[in-house]
Amino acid sequence: MPQVNKPVCLVTGGSFGIGQAVCEKFLEQGFQVINLDIKHNPAQSDSIHWVQCDMSQSIQVQQTIQTVLNQYGRIDTLVSNAGMHFSATIEDTTEQDFDRVFNLNVKGAIAATQAVLPIMKAQQSGVILYMASEQALVAKHNSFAYNLTKSALASMAKTTALDYAKYKIRANAICPGTIETPLYHQAIQNYVEKSGADINQVHAEEAALQPIGRLGQAEEVASLTYFLASDQAKFITGSLQVIDGGYTAQ
């Protein structure tokens, strides 16, 4: 089995938005970074190893991570970031809608976690970070399925932290608020198309909802993610780390 001297960070959904920023942050900190994403970002550094993977397909996820492990011989950090947004009440969420959101946001994270735990146990070290949301702590309107999946990721961080602490494996959930990413812009665009609202006014209203007066940036979330993976955070496990400009403090 080939070995690498660099620590290895595996990021799911790392081609755009927060995932892309996380990949770049770990790369600059000296990690070998592998990005598992269904889409490739041609603007991303060639030093970030993109592996095509549909994170909603559990068997594909486990097989892909095993291939990565065969190549690199270790996985030090998993950032489970792949996810999608979906706006609807419980009445307006079909079974197909729910399955689509749950399969990507939750089952993909489960499959990735199951795939990395054996090597982390063997290493007696590892960090697993779930990209949840401030919606793991509070509710928002028209967000039944999305809110449920992000709450599930927060729960996974806590149970995984307890079950695997004896192997020196840490797990935490990162809970971003409104972050300016392609996912955010797509959600706003969808809302504007449905409601007929003025897009500039909607952006201004979103910023005004944050006590700090602006939207968060992907790079800020990436910095928190790297801190939680580092030895500076080695006493932090089973926690929900909020980065939301004060939104949930209200």
Spatial separation of the C-alpha atoms in residues 135 and 31, rounded to whole Å: 30
Q: Is 146 a catalytic residue?
A: yes
Q: Exactly one of 130, 146, 164, 226 is catalytic; name it.
A: 146
DSSP the chain: ----SS-EEEEET-SSHHHHHHHHHHHHTT-EEEEEESS--TTS-TTSEEEE--TT-HHHHHHHHHHHHHHHS---EEEE-------B-STT--HHHHHHHHIIIIIHHHHHHHHHHHHHHHHT-EEEEEE--GGGTS--TTBHHHHHHHHHHHHHHHHHHHHHGGGTEEEEEEEE-SEESHHHHHHHHHHHHHH---HHHHHHHHHHTSTTSS-EEHHHHHHHHHHHHSGGGTT--S-EEEESTTGGG-
Provide the annotated active-site residues.
146
